[in-house]
């Protein structure tokens, strides 16, 4: 399983727009991409305009399929309007420590 972690800092005045687009994107991804095993979005308590996305995909093909998603394309198109800064952490592998 492959993990993608993204940190987005949203410009002032655009939080509601970001959350609405992200809500639609996450719902569409969960509903239509069987290779997406988890997709969570959390907001930083100390920096409320900072969001962390945590995504787990079954394999490389699932990540490639996600990259072709129309809702991702829409999100990427709109992002420059409201994103102040972002960081991507890719190439991660899920380690299941639940039985430890």
pLDDT at 92: 73
pLDDT per position in the chain (100 positions), as tens? 889 999 999 999 999 999 999 999 999 999 999 999 999 999 999 999 999 999 999 999 999 999 999 999 998 999 999 999 999 887 777 777 777 5
What pLDDT is attached to residue 7? 95
Order of strands, sheet of 36-43, starting from the edge strand that comes earlier in the sequence: 36-43, 50-57, 2-10, 83-93
| Longest distance between any two alpha carbons in the chain, whole Å | 44
Domain boundaries, the chain: 2-89
Q: Write the Ramachandran bin of 28: left for phi over 0, alpha for psi from -120 to 50, otherwise beta.
A: alpha
Q: What pLDDT does 40 receive? A: 97
Give the pLDDT score at 100.
Answer: 59
Residue 53 CB neighbour total at 10 angstroms? 18
Predicted pLDDT at 1: 85
In CATH, what class is 2-89?
alpha beta
């Amino acid at each position: 399983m492959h993990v993608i972690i993204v940190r987005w800092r949203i410009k002032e005045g655009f939080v509601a727009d970001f959350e609405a687009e992200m809500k639609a994107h996450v719902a569409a991804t969960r509903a239509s991409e069987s290779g997406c095993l988890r997709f969570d979005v959390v907001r930083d308590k100390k920096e409320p305009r900072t969001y962390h996305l945590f995504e787990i995909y079954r394999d490389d093909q699932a990540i490639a399929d996600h990259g072709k998603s129309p809702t991702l394309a829409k999100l990427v198109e709109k992002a420059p309007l409201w994103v102040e800064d972002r960081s991507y952490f890719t190439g991660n592998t899920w380690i299941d420590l639940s039985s430890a």
